[in-house]
Structures are given as C-alpha cells and as structure tokens.
Amino acid sequence: MSDKIYPPPASAVQGAHVSGMAAYEALCKEAETDYTGYWARLARELLTWQKPFTQVLNDSDAPFFKWFEDGQLNASVNCLDRHVDAGRGDRVALIFEADDGAVTRVTYAELLAKVCQLANALKARGVKKGDRVVIYMPMSIEGVVAMQACARIGATHSVVFGGFSAQSLRDRVQDAGAVMILTADEQQRGGKSLPLKSIVDEALADHSCPTIKDVIVYRRTGGTVGWVAGRDQWLHEVVADQPTTCAPEWVEAEHPLFLLYTSGSTGKPKGVQHSTGGYLLHAALTTKWTFDLKDSDIFWCTADIGWVTGHTYITYGPLALGGTEMVFESIPTYPDAARFWKMIEKHKVTIFYTAPTAIRSLIKAAETNDAVHPKHSDLTSLRILGSVGEPINPAAWEWYHQHVGGGRCPIVDTFWQTETGGHMITPLPGATPLVPGSCTLPFPGITAAIVDETGNDVPNGQGGILVVKKPWPSMIRTIYGDPERFKKSYYPPELKGYYLAGDGAIRDEKTGYFTITGRIDDVLNVSGHRMGTMEIESALVGCTELVAEAAVVGRPDDTTGEAICAFVVLKRPRPSGDEAKAIAKQLRDWVAKEIGPIAKPKDIRFGDNLPKTRSGKIMRRLLRSVAKGETVTQDTSTLENPAILEQLGQAY
C-alpha cells in the first residue's frame, strides 16, 4: 500500500448517497448498535416485498443462516416491473454495444416484455420453480433476459462463462442437475465467431447429461450449427407467440436465485448458492453506495455475466435501482486497445468498473503504442472508477487515476468474492479518503476483521487471516449438493464461527485500512520472515519500465524453508540466455531496494503471458507446481492459455 492519501474531491462528496466520513461512520454505528434492525431497515427501503418479512436473521442452524425468511418477493419484479409501474418504463435500461460497434438500446418496458416472453416460453417447456437452468451465452441483451426470465419463474440459473470447454460445461450441468441449457449459435468477439452451440452438443454427447430436456438457442451470428430434433429450439421461435406479460412466481427470500461455479483459481469449482432476498438487497445497496449510482449516470461494469461481478453489477444491482448501464459484447483490445476509452467517450459513461488485469494490459498497450493511450479520448464524463478481482498494485492504481480518471475520479477498490455476493471492503466514493493499493474499510454493516489461526484478533499493523465475524444478507448459503464442503471451507471450527474468506490481510496501524496480502496459502516464510506474495508482485510491477505483469509463489527450499519464485511478463519480448540472466539480476536488485534483500526472488521465469483462468486471474496453484519443477497434473480446464506453461519451464 502506498503512503499517498487522496481525499474525495468536493464534487464527489456533494450530493453523494453516502456523503462524507461522518455519514459513513453513522451507518457503521447504526449497524453496530442494532445489527438486524439495520439490515431490516435497508431491506424494506430498497426492495419491494410481495409479503413483508417479520423475521430478519435466523441463526439457529449456523452456519446455514437465513435472512428475511418469511418474506416473499421476486427478483425480476424488483428489477423491472416496479420501475415500469412507477412510470419509468421509457428509461433506457441497457445500452448494448456489439463487437462491430453497433448499438442497441432497450428500455425498462421493452426489457420487461422480453423477460416475460421468455419466462412464458420456459414455463411452456415445463421449467418450474426450483429447477436449475444453465445459461451458456455470450454477453448480450438476451443473456441478461435469460437470467431475469429464470428469476421471474423461480428457476435457479447457473451461468457458465462462454469461454469454458465442453468438459467444464458438462461438469457444471451434471453437478447442478440442470433441466435446460440456454445458449447461442456462436459468440462474436474480437472480430471472430467462436462456437457455443457445438460445445453444448459435445457436452451433452453420449447421454452424459440425462437431466437436460431442452436446449434453446439464440441466433447471434447465423453460423451453421448441428441440431437435435426434439431437444433444440431457436429462441426467436419459442418466444414468438408468447404474451409480453407473465405473472411472477413469488418466492421465499431464501429461495435460491442462482448457483455460480467459482472460477477455480484455487481448486475444483464449487457451486456457490445464493438466495433471492438477501442477495438482491446487497446487490442493490452496494450499487447505490459504492458506485453512488444516480438516475443521471451511465454505468459500465466490463465483467462478463459468467462471473459474479456480471451477476451483481450487471444483471441485478443496477437494474434493481432503475439505472442505465452498458453491456459490452467484445474485448478491450478490439479493434485496438483504445476500445474502452472510445466507448466511454461515445456513450458518456460516468461510472466505469473493470479489473486490474485489464488495466495492466491496457497500460502495456498504451506504453508500446501511443495511439491507444486514453489521452486521445474525451473521458471527462467519468466521475467514479472501480476495480475488482485482484489487488490493484499502486503503480496501476496511479495510472488509472491519472490517465483514465483525469486525477478527479475516486477509485473504488472493491474487495469481495463469489461467495459474498457483493462488496465487502471498499471505499465509498463520496466519503473515504483513498490510499492506492488498499481496499480501505468495510462496507457499513460488514464485520470484516483480521485474526490469527485460532480466531483471535490481531493488532493493526500485523498480518493475519481475513474473516467476517457476523453473517450478512448476501452471503453464500451453501455449496450446491455439498453442505459439508461448505462448512469445512468457510466455517472451520477453530475460527469461532467466523466466515473464512481464504485471503490474508493486514490493517494499517494508524488508519485501520485493509490491504489484501494474497490468498492464505500464498503467505511465504523465507528464513523465518513472513511475506505476502502480493507485496513482492507489487514491487516487481513497480519496475514500470520493464515489467508488465508478475506473479510470485513459494517453493520448498532446504536452506531458507521456502524460496521465492517470480513469474514475469516484460514490456519487451520474452528474453532468453544472457539477456534473461541480466534482466533477472536487475529485477532482483530492484526488489532488494524496494522491500529488502530477503524478498529477492530466487528463481525468475519469463513468459509471454501468465497462466490465467478464463476470468483473467493468475492461476497460482499451477505456478506452484511449475516452481517446484513438477509436471502439471492438475485440472487445467479453466486455464485460458495452456501453452504458456512450457515457456515458464526455464528459471533464471
């Protein structure tokens, strides 16, 4: 974490939903004084209930907590009908920009009509409350419609990212016992058509998924696809004669809205199950407070609907508030790496939320090709920036702040997880003074804390295990079909009933600000010195003339206990031989100067890229095997670029 402090500019404080630190502190105080009263108040203010709840939290079967248990609602009514009913049907809900730049706008009234038509079509094919429906679709209006249509009839959706293989899709369909798959003929990304339907066919081949009765196909590209009569149907055909209204299925607050399989950067994907009421509350609340969303905003979250970020901050949060948001089909580097900046200018985006991995790659692009630098676009519409998915290192933070935000936009570095449903530790843009590299303070009502291995609080300035002491409304309810794994993974007995996030963290001695130091299993012990891998990564990436990206893992070492291994992507072509040795020395000296000689990486390996999950996260478990010199035997199904592993074989 850097030692610079950026107080929120007056323009961000003025008129903010949470305006000034005193307002933030008052909310924290309210939650502390009357925890359930606080959440109940917000649940009544932000959501529309068909049957109001009288019970707030039921903790009698901990850690299987229940929120707003006797209340009933429908998520799609909260996201659509209530805005249309309030006379806001003509507001634009979605601004869709396709791969080729074509733009389609959909109003709330139009979106509701589409959702109802598809909901009716699903019901006509026998899908009912509680059934699981897999959505394997590109970024599209239809993808959002599919999720909302499931919510409307009480079916539990499970979105599988369109980059996953047939095997990964099959695993998820089988685990969920899904009755239907919604897909597209193909997806269009970066000027290319990529298969979807043929992957579904492969996943379902040999009767491997007997629970699937129907496959509904959105025609995106018009490419040729195989067809199984009786099973496959075109989306436009099944909705064609369906009415544009559909009575919602009222569900209990605890009814599972969706399952989402985590990205798998640390192990076998697990089906994280979320509720309807508690989840939707936090989706709406965090969109409102963390992004300070207002009617005048154009909100853009660049995540795919295949990840939790796309669920909470595309499909549910902004729509629950009646906001206007972008949905983007393509990739940040097509037709060139100025695409994001040009889109912000074109659509006058005011709030922009993306991942550090995208920022780092766009920094690299702008530094090698000035033509794609954000300075060539008019980004003055922006007022708030966000970051999610990984820690954002101070160097990337500063660049984002200066070159994208023009030095005037607060950056909300939002720490959260698939399991948490929404933001947990994050600045609020009109309140929190920012420190680059720190996700700052808990969201009001979230009891985040740092403890040791036995659940005792550790003092500020001392690193430990990140936990959440009290249950919160949008928390994971279980791992689908495996409640024991849920308990074991998130509520280990030695932690006094606290939720275990799996990340390490440290709080600043003076400010109490949180910095995430890496996954718990990424804490290294080198000759008795404990170090977060993140710290070393951040130092490496801080060598801005050389390094584009870096990942650090440990490997066993006879003399030092653990040795530090760094995987580095340079801003220049991948070196070898003497050149690689010279650069490796230069980097070691740099780290020694930045952190201390103890943090010097023993091995440095260069790649054109790093092994990442489809969601863009570095797969550290694979790097640990490579560092040990093992052949990689783990599940690489979620790996984006398997060829990279070979390049990383050589250590310098």
Cβ distance to ligand ATP smaller for residue 557 or 635 = 635
Task: Write out the DSSP string of 444-494.
Answer: TT--EEEE-TTS-B--TTS-EEEEESS--TTS--EETT-HHHHHHHH--GG
Please identify, among the stretches 100-108, 258-266, 369-377, 639-647, the one whose residues bind ligand ATP according to the rule CB under 6 A. Answer: 258-266
Q: Is 277 annotated as a binding residue?
A: no
Rounded to whole angstroms, the Cα distance separating 49 from 250 reads: 9
Q: How many residues bind ligand ATP (CB under 6 A)?
A: 25
Identify residues 416-455 at the interface with ligand ATP (CB under 6 A).
416-418, 439
Cβ distance to ligand ATP smaller for residue 53 or 415 = 415
Token reading at 468: 């959440």
Alpha carbon distances (Å) from 355 to 312, 432, 490, 517: 15, 20, 25, 17
Contact residues for 422 (Cβ-Cβ < 8 A; gap 6+): 279, 282, 283, 285, 286, 312, 317, 416, 474
Please identify, among the stretches 83-91, 156-164, 259-267, 362-370, the one whose residues bind ligand ATP according to the rule CB under 6 A. Answer: 259-267
The residue assigned the tokens 């010195």 is: 529
Which helix (H) or strand (E) segment holds residue 261: the answer is strand 258-261
Identify residues 299-318 at the interface with ligand ATP (CB under 6 A).
308
CA 235 to centroid of chain Cα atoms: 28
Please identify, among the stretches 81-89, 249-257, 265-273, 474-482, the one whose residues bind ligand ATP according to the rule CB under 6 A. Answer: 265-273
| Angle made by CA atoms 308, 310, 315, in degrees to the nearest 5 | 110
Cβ distance to ligand ATP smaller for residue 80 or 466 = 466
Cβ distance to ligand ATP smaller for residue 299 or 514 = 514
Cβ distance to ligand ATP smaller for residue 195 or 391 = 391
**616 lies in the site for ligand ATP, by CB under 6 A:** no
Contact residues for 265 (Cβ-Cβ < 8 A; gap 6+): 613, 617, 618, 619, 620, 621, 638
Nearest distance in Å: CB 314, ligand ATP: 15
Nearest distance in Å: CB 266, ligand ATP: 3
Please identify, among the stretches 96-104, 283-291, 451-459, 495-503, the one whose residues bind ligand ATP according to the rule CB under 6 A. Answer: 495-503
Q: Which of 110, 142, 503, 549 binds ligand ATP (CB under 6 A)?
A: 503
Rounded to whole angstroms, the Cα distance separating 148 from 114 reads: 10
Identify residues 92-111 at the interface with ligand ATP (CB under 6 A).
none
Rounded to whole angstroms, the Cα distance separating 494 from 91 reads: 51
Q: Is 541 annotated as a binding residue?
A: yes
Q: Which of 162, 271, 391, 504 binds ligand ATP (CB under 6 A)?
A: 391
Phi-psi category of residue 315: left, alpha or beta, with phi > 0 → left and psi -120 to 50 → alpha: alpha
CA 553 to centroid of chain Cα atoms: 23
Please identify, among the stretches 42-50, 257-265, 346-354, 576-584, the one whose residues bind ligand ATP according to the rule CB under 6 A. Answer: 257-265
**637 lies in the site for ligand ATP, by CB under 6 A:** no
SS (H, E, C) 602-621: CEEEECCCCCEECCCCECHH
Buried b vs exposed e over 75-94: b needs ≥16 C-beta within 10 Å? bbbbbbbebbeeeebebebb
Q: Can you list the positions of beta strands (E) in 520-560?
A: 523-526, 529-532, 547-557
**158 lies in the site for ligand ATP, by CB under 6 A:** no
Token reading at 644: 């990279």
Q: Is 589 annotated as a binding residue?
A: no
Q: Is 416 annotated as a binding residue?
A: yes
CB 41 within 8 A of CB 21: no
Cβ distance to ligand ATP smaller for residue 519 or 555 = 519
**389 lies in the site for ligand ATP, by CB under 6 A:** yes
- What number of other Cβ atoms are within 10 A of residue 170's Cβ? 21
Which helix (H) or strand (E) segment holds residue 324: the answer is strand 324-328
Q: Is 414 annotated as a binding residue?
A: yes
**46 lies in the site for ligand ATP, by CB under 6 A:** no
What's the burial of 527, exposed, middle or buried (CB within 10 Å: 0-12/13-18/19+)?
Answer: exposed
How many separate helices (H) and strands (E) can be counted in the chain? 21, 30
Q: Which of 617, 620, 625, 644 binds ligand ATP (CB under 6 A)?
A: 617
Cβ distance to ligand ATP smaller for residue 1 or 225 = 1
Which helix (H) or strand (E) segment holds residue 515: the answer is strand 514-519
Q: Which of 1, 93, 516, 531 binds ligand ATP (CB under 6 A)?
A: 516
Buried b vs exposed e over 318-327: b needs ≥16 C-beta within 10 Å? bbbbbbbbbb
Cβ distance to ligand ATP smaller for residue 265 or 275 = 265
Q: Which of 312, 414, 474, 637 binds ligand ATP (CB under 6 A)?
A: 414
**175 lies in the site for ligand ATP, by CB under 6 A:** no
Token reading at 409: 């936009």
Token reading at 68: 């707003």
Cβ distance to ligand ATP smaller for residue 184 or 308 = 308
Please identify, among the stretches 123-131, 160-168, 229-237, 383-391, the one whose residues bind ligand ATP according to the rule CB under 6 A. Answer: 383-391
Please identify, among the stretches 29-37, 62-70, 215-223, 389-397, the one whose residues bind ligand ATP according to the rule CB under 6 A. Answer: 389-397
Contact residues for 596 (Cβ-Cβ < 8 A; gap 6+): none
Q: Which of 9, 433, 497, 502 binds ligand ATP (CB under 6 A)?
A: 502
Please identify, among the stretches 78-86, 118-126, 395-403, 496-504, the one whose residues bind ligand ATP according to the rule CB under 6 A. Answer: 496-504
The 267-286 site mask, x for binding ligand ATP (CB under 6 A), equals: x-x-----------------
* Residue ranges that bind ligand ATP, judged by CB under 6 A: 262-267, 269, 308, 388-391, 413-418, 439, 501-503, 516, 519, 617
Known binding residues for Mg(2+): 541, 547
Known binding residues for ATP: 389-391, 413-418, 503, 519, 530
Known binding residues for CoA: 189-192, 309, 527
Known binding residues: 189-192, 309, 389-391, 413-418, 503, 519, 527, 530, 541, 547
